[in-house]
Structure 1
Amino acid sequence: MKSFPLVYVILLNYNGYKDTIECIESLEKVTYPNMKIVIVDNNSTDGSEQIIKEKFPQHTFIQTGDNLGFAGGNNVGINYALEQGADYVCLLNNDTVVEKDFLDKLVETAEKDETIGIVGGTILQYEDNKKIWYAGGYFNRIGGKAVHIKKLPKQILNEVTFITGCLQLIRRKVLLEVGLLPEEYFLYYEDLDYCMQVRNKGYRLIYDKRAVIYHKCGGTASYKSPISIYYSNRNRLIFYKKYFRGLDLFRYKIIYNILLCIKLLLYRKENRNAIINVYKYNFRKRGFQSEGKKC
């Protein structure tokens, strides 16, 4: 008889119970037979805790008591899953809806080879499922950011250098060996950082185009909102300082500051203030010295 590894799916909620409810309802229809759902709430103020608990008393609900950010909140769920004996942890954005066989495909691929550390899948836009949000990804050294591939590949499986935190199936051994998600970013770049760490430990990242979910893009923080602009620009330099040094870091500092200056000139009102706050953060940290970790 075939055995099915135990998978814990972690949903992080922050003032988004409507999306979380729709996501859970889709998860309850999946065909994978050995799955547990854990909802972690980052101290929501919209009544999420009571509403979700009442609607889904059969699923585990964890209240963090504070807004710990993406990594911090997910780490609470990851720790719980590991304590419960999870073979895999699946990080899944709460503003998604899944195809019923998505987890079957992810686990099937992960089980092919123990050197596979993380598996990701195809992410289509919820609003228009003909538009691809993620079909594999890579790190752009010049731009200092992760890039989503927007075209489906011919092959079913592809090795990539970046898997978005919107959907990651992570092997237990990886979590124990590499550790939890990096919490210094709060929002954005923690998934890219973790992919770097996993690859530096010798594990591979695999994209499986058969595993399909649908993402309400920008459901947690709109990509053009001040909070998104602040954290994406602030965290870009944090990431580069962590993984680069010498001439690579020097070159990137020049590009980074030129881009910040351009944005300062082009942006208005709250978005411009977000860039100003990035400058303030960088000045406080006086942080242009590399930590020199391998990339």
Structure 2
Amino acid sequence: MKKYSFVVLTYNSQGTIDGCLNSIIEKTAKQNIETEIIVVDNASKDDSADYVEKNFSDKGVKVIRNTKNSGFSGGVNIGLQAATGDYCVLLNPDASIETIDFSKVQETFDNNKVGILSGKIIWPGGRTQPSFGFFPTRAKLLSYYFKLANIWPGGFLVHDNFWNHKYYQQLSTVGWVSGCFMIIPKQVLAEVKYFDEEYFLYIEDTDLCYRISQKGYKIMVDPQIVISHLLQYSVKKDPLKNFHFEIESMIRFFRVHYNQNVTGFMNRVYKLKKWRLDQKNKSSG
């Protein structure tokens, strides 16, 4: 059996980190998996690093303290580059492993040219959480941001996105998977030079999947792997600010990979989204 290096990036994550780390320790111990657990703290203000060292150092968890908040890409790259395992497993600090069979994981990698393997991500209540899709186009972005699937289920804009439940029935090849949970061979990460740190927040997972797929590897989802995710625990609940980060990242993705300038298009999407949020706030106020 190969060695698995778990990398968890924390930022003000003291409230959820127990469940995350305990799930890793429990699931790997039961299956006698050789592991290392690396927590990279992105300059938290809630003493997350101290908390992990105090409560988990005796269980073999290593803490790396970043001197600044380097964003998702910069933070996880520190842990990924320090990892010594054959496979790197990214897990958000507000996520926990519900079900995983490492022998089947190994079988999937042995029998397929897999660059990234993810699983079925669920809310704590058990409802499926959107966590994968296919590479963006203007039409798909409109469908995603404005939930066009709700008014046109099965339409051409959404037929291959994460609203299609066929991908949750069996091992499937997709375009991108969420950075909430990824299993990636260390040699594949080294081949594509890890995450692009020009993405501070959002789309960095899509970018990584795109670059790995361009090398001929598959991005796959195994619904028998189940991960519970609270979603954005450490991100301030400021939807417009978060959406602004996403817009900037999407503009970069289109420029780098498609050689397209979508700044004007994305700015119009932002204004429309802002108008809809304003209307929603007025009606609820």
Higher RCO (CA < 8 A, seq sep 6+): 2
Q: How does 1:30-45 map to 2 (within 5 A)?
A: 30=27, 31-32=30-31, 33-45=33-45
Residue in 2 that maps onto 1:119: 117
User: Is residue 10–residue 37 contact of structure 1 (8 Å, CA) maintained in 2?
Assistant: yes
* Distance in 1 (alpha carbons) for counterparts of 2:130 and 2:223: 10
Equivalent residue runs for 1:7-156 within 5 Å? 7-30=4-27, 31-32=30-31, 33-57=33-57, 58-81=60-83, 84=84, 86-101=85-100, 103-113=102-112, 115-126=113-124, 128-129=125-126, 131-134=127-130, 136-143=132-139, 145=141, 148-149=162-163, 151=165, 153=167, 155-156=169-170
Question: In the alignment, which of 183, 190, 195 is matched to residue 204 of structure 2?
Answer: 190
TM-superposition CA deviations, 1:170-221 (whole Å, max 9, x none): 0122112111101111110000000110011111111111011100022132
Q: Which moved more, 1:180-189 or 1:220-229?
A: 220-229
CA distance in 1, matches of 2:162, 2:233: 18
Q: Which runs of 5+ in 2 are unaligned?
A: 145-160
Cα distance in 2 between the residues matched to 1:152 and 1:217 = 23
TM-score by length of 1: 0.79
Q: Distance in 1 between matches of 2:241 and 2:185?
A: 31
**Alpha-carbon distance change, 109 to 185 in structure 1, aligned in 2, over 3 angstroms:** same
CA-CA distance at 1:120 after TM superposition: 0.7
Which residue of the partner structure matches residue 235 of structure 2?
A: 221
- The aligned counterpart of 2:149 is none
Number of matched pairs: 257
**Candidates 219, 222, 226, aligned match of 1:205:** 219
Identical aligned residues as a percent: 27
Answer with 14-23 or 71-80: which moved more: 14-23
2:40/2:76 contact within 8 Å kept: yes
Once residues 168 and 250 of structure 2 are traced to their aligned partners in structure 1, the CA distance between those partners, rounded to angstroms, is 32
Q: 1:213 to 1:265 in 2, by over 3 A?
A: closer
Distance 1:154 1:173 in 2: 28
Q: Does the Cα contact within 8 Å between 2:119 and 2:225 map onto a contact in 1?
A: yes
Structure 2 counterpart of 1:276: none
Mapped to 1, the partners of 2:232 and 2:164 lie a distance apart of: 17
Distance 2:240 2:212 in 1: 31
* Structure 1 unpaired stretches of 5+: 272-295
Is the Cα contact below 8 Å between 2:99 and 2:227 reproduced in 1? no
C-alpha distance 156-240 of structure 1, shift in aligned 2 (>3 A): same
Counterpart for residue 259 of structure 1: 269
Where 2:129 maps in the other structure, the secondary structure is strand
Contact 1:19 1:95 in 2 (8 A): yes
Q: 2 CA distance for matches of 1:150 and 1:46?
A: 39
Q: Per-residue displacement from partner, 1:77-102 (whole Å, max 9, x unpaired)? A: 00100xx3x10001111101112525
- Is the contact made by 1:144 and 1:240 (CA closer than 8 Å) also made in structure 2? no
Shift of 1:52: 1.0
Do 2:115 and 2:184's aligned partners in 1 also have CA atoms closer than 8 Å? yes
Judge conservation of contact 2:119–2:224 (CA < 8 Å) in 1: yes
Over the aligned positions, Cα root-mean-square deviation in angstroms equals 2.4
